[in-house]
């Protein structure tokens, strides 16, 4: 058995054995079993995917033979390996986190079934990513959807969980049916179920057929990716699921939707239409902007993170759309950069969203609430959790030198390269999408300033929050892993970009790494091909620092232009981090030197005559985000469900209680009109049930005549 086949077999064997063993051991031991088996399976997946990523081979294998269908095939190419690697990076910390987190459910829900569904979900995810034929892919996709539903509905006694799980399952099945029809149509046309046959036969598709395949697969997979307007399940499912499941939903399941879009529209049936790229670009921008607007006004930590996931998947989709547009205009280098940056942001999102969801779970476990209006002051009670959550908040806010800054900065810079497109209308579309993306990133900073400040700073606004304790060690380890990766992915873009470029090289036939990571170090291959004057300017500011101790091509990311404009954009998070550390150290030394002979006395601060500051007097999350509600009221358009006034202390003060009922813009503009039409149609059909037998016979006769007439016409 090959170096890839054996560990893949062990992954499925481990998950299956762990699921069965969970039913044989006591309930209280299932969290530890899940942590060990899930972690070992994730480590095996990391090793397998890493080996495939650094190998030039594509690994194929036969799974089993079904007499009426044929042999089911698996394959691990660079794209599959990347997604397996990213999934394992999420499952590993989530499994470790589960050791202590799942104890909260002991005696209330069955941890034996949770252990089984969790491990089988990871197995189904890996199977989706290595499936090489239509039937196996659809079977694995359906298994993943059902297992996700079971995990979201784990707390089945809560109506919120049941409704959220059913909505997620219903929307997923709707997308699944559409995808199954298209994939089977392509398989019949190709005369084979294998993906390679579908890819070979796609060249003969007409323009209309290509548009149909693109629209169905983009929005069909877009259900799982969480793209507007098929994303209404996300803000409901994430808060209902346990925190470790929410991390997998956001860090892995959403990526599966992106995997389907990329596999179908870049590999199997390559999109060549300019309009398709524009559609992807606009949908991504709208998803990002709508997601962050609702995240900014949400007070529940997990619901806020769910909306933020919509925003980040929208940013990834913007990169994919830009790449498709550049491809249509025969700009392969820019297309390669756009696709590589999109993949970079997808990985970054998986890391910091896993960290933040696990952090929200730790807060909920300690304080018993996720409502930011009832939290506060946790930094003194949970300092390690606060520090790790802060890393995630800074990363998702695109603060340098963390990973979110690299991919979002490169995405904006890629959109600015639309100046090379010859079409003015398309340039305008890029400009509007770039402005929307810039607004999205700015609102993300506001959103996560609120999330951290209202949850961890100030004073506790509830008794439960004031009695919180630090998270157990296993939960902290689970959060520390993605936190470290957020830092590493931010400091090493010049190593990550060439690797991602190798994965997508077959799609673009261009090397984005050569355009983004020039060989600054003199020992790197290709250094002598760079213009001497070009290198001299960067060497003067220290771009060659570290060449004797660091591997790779250098530490600077830049995009090279022509002779008149040799550097379009450039940055280095590594040097940025070094400068920030140096500035902090110098400032600390100066302050220590200036205050070396002074005595610091601590006194009670002046309180303006207020004897004791009450929690009701402090700023709340609702008050913090109210300006966003006011400015974007045309989008939110809340309905007032109740408005009451009550006189307090006779006529001196009036208390106003106003209940707002939020209606999501997607529900208002897309789902409610469909619901209204369906109800009117149902009421019209209900009128036919009047109980008169003669009319029923007439209905049957009319239907028969209609069928005969239609058959004659055809």
Residues 489, 407: Cα–Cα separation, whole Å: 10
For residue 4, pLDDT over 80 is answered with no
pLDDT band at 88 (very low <50, low <70, confident <90, very high): very high
The pLDDT value recorded for residue 3 is 73
Q: What is the pLDDT of residues 457-511, one digit of tens each?
A: 888 888 888 888 999 999 999 999 999 999 999 998 988 988 888 888 777 777 7
Task: Mention every residue, 6+ apart, whose C-beta is less than 8 A from residue 587.
Answer: none
Q: What is the pLDDT of residues 325-368, one digit of tens each?
A: 999 998 888 899 999 999 999 999 999 999 999 999 999 999 98
Task: Mention every residue, 6+ apart, whose C-beta is less than 8 A from residue 319.
Answer: 284, 338, 339, 341, 342, 345, 411, 414
pLDDT band at 224 (very low <50, low <70, confident <90, very high): very high
Pair 55, 76: CB distance under 8 Å: no
The DSSP secondary structure of 434-485, one letter per residue, reads HHHHHHHHHHHHHHHHHHHHHHHSS--SSHHHHT--PPPHHHHHHHHHHHHH
Q: What is the pLDDT of residues 20-53, one digit of tens each?
A: 999 999 999 999 999 999 999 999 999 999 999 8
Residue 603's CB: how many other CB atoms inside 10 A? 5
pLDDT band at 425 (very low <50, low <70, confident <90, very high): very high
pLDDT band at 712 (very low <50, low <70, confident <90, very high): confident
Domain extent listing, the chain: 1-217+228-235, 271-510, 518-534+553-594, 631-714
- The pairing of beta strand 639-648 with beta strand 653-661: antiparallel
pLDDT band at 571 (very low <50, low <70, confident <90, very high): confident
Cβ-in-10-Å burial (0-12, 13-18, 19+) of 489 comes to buried
Residues 83, 120: Cα–Cα separation, whole Å: 17
Pair 94, 244: CB distance under 8 Å: yes
Q: What angle do CA 25, 27, 31 make, to 5 degrees?
A: 95
The pLDDT value recorded for residue 231 is 86
Residues 61, 81: Cα–Cα separation, whole Å: 15
In the numeric block, which tokens belong to residue 476?
Answer: 């902290």
For residue 683, pLDDT over 90 is answered with no
In the numeric block, which tokens belong to residue 677?
Answer: 């039409």
Note the helical H segments in 570-692: 573-594, 621-631, 633-636, 665-666, 672-686
The pLDDT value recorded for residue 14 is 94
């Amino acid at each position: 058995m090959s170096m890839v086949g054996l560990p893949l077999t062990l992954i499925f064997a481990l998950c299956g054995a762990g699921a069965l063993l969970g039913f044989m051991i006591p309930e209280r031991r299932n969290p530890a079993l899940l942590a060990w088996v899930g972690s070992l399976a994730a480590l095996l997946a990391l090793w397998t995917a890493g080996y495939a990523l650094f190998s030039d081979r594509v690994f194929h294998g036969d799974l089993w033979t079904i007499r009426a269908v044929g042999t089911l095939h698996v394959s691990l190419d660079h794209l599959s390996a990347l997604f397996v690697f990213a999934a394992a990076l999420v499952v590993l910390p989530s499994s470790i986190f589960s050791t202590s987190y799942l104890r909260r459910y002991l005696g209330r829900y069955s941890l034996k079934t949770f252990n089984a569904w969790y491990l089988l979900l990871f197995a189904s995810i890996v199977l989706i990513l290595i499936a090489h034929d239509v039937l196996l892919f659809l079977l694995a996709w359906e298994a993943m959807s059902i297992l996700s539903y079971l995990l979201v509905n784990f707390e089945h006694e809560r109506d919120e969980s049941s409704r959220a799980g059913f909505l997620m399952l219903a929307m997923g099945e709707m997308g699944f049916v559409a995808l199954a029809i298209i994939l089977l149509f392509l398989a019949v046309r190709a005369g084979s179920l294998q993906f390679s046959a579908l890819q070979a036969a796609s060249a003969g598709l007409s323009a209309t057929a290509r548009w149909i395949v693109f629209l169905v697969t983009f929005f069909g997979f877009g259900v799982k990716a969480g793209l507007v307007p098929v994303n209404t399940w996300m803000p409901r499912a994430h808060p209902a699921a346990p925190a470790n499941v929410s991390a997998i939903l956001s860090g892995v399941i959403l990526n599966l939707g992106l995997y389907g879009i990329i596999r179908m529209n870049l590999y199997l049936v390559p999109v060549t239409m300019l309009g398709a790229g524009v559609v992807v670009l606009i949908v991504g921008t709208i998803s990002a902007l709508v997601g962050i607007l609702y995240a900014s006004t949400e007070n529940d930590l997990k619901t806020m993170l769910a909306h933020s996931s919509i925003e980040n998947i929208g940013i990834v989709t913007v990169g994919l759309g830009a790449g498709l547009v550049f491809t249509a205009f025969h700009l392969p280098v820019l297309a390669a950069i756009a696709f590589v940056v999109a993949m970079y942001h997808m990985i970054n999102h998986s890391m910091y969203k896993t960290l933040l969801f696990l952090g929200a779970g730790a807060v909920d476990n300690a304080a018993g609430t996720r409502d930011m209006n009832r939290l506060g002051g946790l930094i003194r009670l949970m300092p390690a959790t606060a520090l790790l959550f802060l890393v995630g908040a800074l990363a998702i806010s695109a603060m340098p030198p963390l990973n979110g800054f690299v991919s979002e900065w490169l995405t904006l810079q890629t959109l600015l390269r639309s100046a090379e497109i010859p079409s003015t209308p398309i340039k305008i579309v890029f400009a509007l999408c770039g402005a929307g993306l810039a607004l999205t990133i700015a609102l993300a900073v506001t959103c996560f300033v609120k999330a951290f400040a209202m949850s961890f700073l100030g004073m506790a606004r509830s008794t439960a929050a004031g009695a919180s304790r630090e998270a157990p060690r296993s939960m902290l380890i689970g959060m520390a892993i993605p936190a470290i990766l957020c830092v590493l992915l931010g400091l090493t873009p010049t190593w990550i970009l060439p690797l991602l470029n190798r994965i997508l090289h077959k799609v673009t036939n261009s090397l984005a790494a050569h355009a983004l990571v020039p060989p600054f170090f003199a020992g790197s291959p290709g250094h002598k091909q760079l213009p001497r004057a070009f290198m001299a300017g960067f060497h003067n500011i220290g771009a060659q620092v570290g060449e004797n101790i660091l591997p790779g091509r250098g530490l600077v990311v830049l995009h090279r232009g022509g002779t008149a404009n040799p550097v379009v954009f450039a940055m280095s998070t590594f040097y940025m981090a070094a400068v920030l550390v140096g500035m902090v150290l110098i400032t600390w030394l100066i302050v220590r030197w200036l205050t070396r002979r002074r005595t610091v006395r601590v006194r009670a601060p002046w309180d303006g005559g207020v004897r004791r500051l009450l929690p009701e007097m402090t700023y709340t999350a609702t008050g913090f985000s109210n300006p966003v509600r006011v400015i974007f009221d045309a989008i939110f358009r809340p309905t007032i469900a109740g408005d009451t006034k009550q006189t307090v202390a006779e006529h001196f003060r009036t208390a106003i209680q106003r209940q707002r009922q939020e209606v999501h813009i997607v529900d208002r503009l897309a789902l409610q009109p469909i619901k209204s039409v369906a109800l009117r149609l149902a009421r019209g059909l209900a009128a036919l049930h009047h109980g008169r037998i003669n009319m029923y016979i007439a209905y049957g006769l009319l239907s028969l005549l209609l069928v005969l007439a239609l058959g004659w016409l055809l």
